[in-house]
Amino acid sequence: MRLIVTGATGFIGKHLVESAKQHSEIVCLTRNSENQSNHKNVSFVQTTYELDSLRDILREDDVLVHLAGQRLTKDETNPKLLSFIEPNIKLTENLLIAACEANIRQVVLASSIGVYSEADNMPYLEDTITNPSTIYGLSKLIGEQLVNYYCMKNSIKSTVLRFSQCYGIGEKDTPVLMKFIKQANEKQKIIAQDNEFYLDEIYIKDVIDAILLVVNKETEGTFNIGGGKAYSILEMAETVNLIFNNEKNIEVTSGVKKYNQSNFLSIQKIKEHLNWSPRFDLEKSLIDMKEAYEIRKD
């Protein structure tokens, strides 16, 4: 069995390749010919993601882990669906057509908590009616529907993993928790709002555990993958400062609600089906990150 990984040079992809390379042959799809690996089990294959290009790569018994896609950035206040069609929809469909023609073993799609609506009752359940409140969430939902359609039609196993906000070493510092971590690690003042919003965050090592588990078990279905708890903005800031020895360097504000919605995933389904639960709560994951930062300094 080969793991075919899209988005292998991204945040989740790098961690997945690093964790899986000791036990699996991994083929990383990339547009950039400069991407290379010196590990015997990892190869980078350049592709345009056009059908003819993908047909030359995929083969029977492969497992496709599809992580590539356009993310929603904070500077995009009113993004249009057009900006997500090529990276999140057309690319996904091309992969699926090629995968079905090759009769691969399984497709694992990285989806998002963004497929749910802020109006839904929380914690979100997998059978909650999806009604995305952003164009990004809509593009991820269309990707899910494409996976379900093509895989069901061609009798290929499929798994959709709806992740909450992921954090860890290598993630950008734009998400609020990663911003706090960067500030605390550099002994800067954290400015945190004391509001009523709660966010579901999941550590990257738990994300990788979940991906590898559904691959190894060849599990089918749609599963929420979250941290098991939602934290307030202030709680995250205080915990980060505590772990990074930056306790007194915090300013608490109120007023404008910068973060526009709470979110929280139920992970009961994957607990029952696969006995999976996150190994890291917020405090434990921050200790792990702090140790990693200290090793890098040395």
In a domain, 106, yes or no: yes
In a domain, 272, yes or no: yes
Which whole number is the average pLDDT over 89-101?
97
Which whole number is the average pLDDT over 195-223?
96
Which whole number is the average pLDDT over 169-187?
95
Q: Provide the 3-class DSSP secondary structure of residue 238.
A: helix
In a domain, 176, yes or no: no
Among 61-75, 124-138, 168-182, top mean pLDDT goes to: 168-182
Alpha carbon separation from 176 to 140, 201, 278 (Å, rounded): 22, 10, 20
| Mean pLDDT value across the chain | 92
Question: pLDDT tens across 108-165, in order?
Answer: 999 999 999 876 688 999 998 898 988 999 999 999 999 999 999 999 999 999 999 9
Number of domains in the chain: 1
Q: What value, to the nearest 5°, has the Cα angle with vertex 194 and ends 188 and 195?
A: 135
In a domain, 296, yes or no: no
Question: pLDDT tens across 235-258, in order?
Answer: 999 999 999 999 889 998 875 555
| pLDDT the model gives residue 33 | 73
Confidence of residue 260 (pLDDT cuts 50, 70, 90): low
In a domain, 243, yes or no: no
In a domain, 193, yes or no: no
Which whole number is the average pLDDT over 33-60?
91
Q: The domain spanning residue 103 has which CATH number? A: 3.40.50.720
> Which domain range does residue 49 map to?
2-166+204-226+264-279
Per-residue pLDDT at 173 exceeds 70: yes
Per-residue pLDDT at 76 exceeds 70: no
Q: Provide the 3-class DSSP secondary structure of residue 225.
A: strand
Per-residue pLDDT at 106 exceeds 70: yes
| pLDDT the model gives residue 217 | 97
Amino acid at 47: T
In a domain, 187, yes or no: no
| pLDDT the model gives residue 121 | 81
Name residues whose C-beta falls within 8 Å of residue 13's C-beta, 6 or more positions apart in sequence. 5, 6, 7, 28, 67, 68
| pLDDT the model gives residue 200 | 97
Per-residue pLDDT at 221 exceeds 90: yes
pTM: 0.94
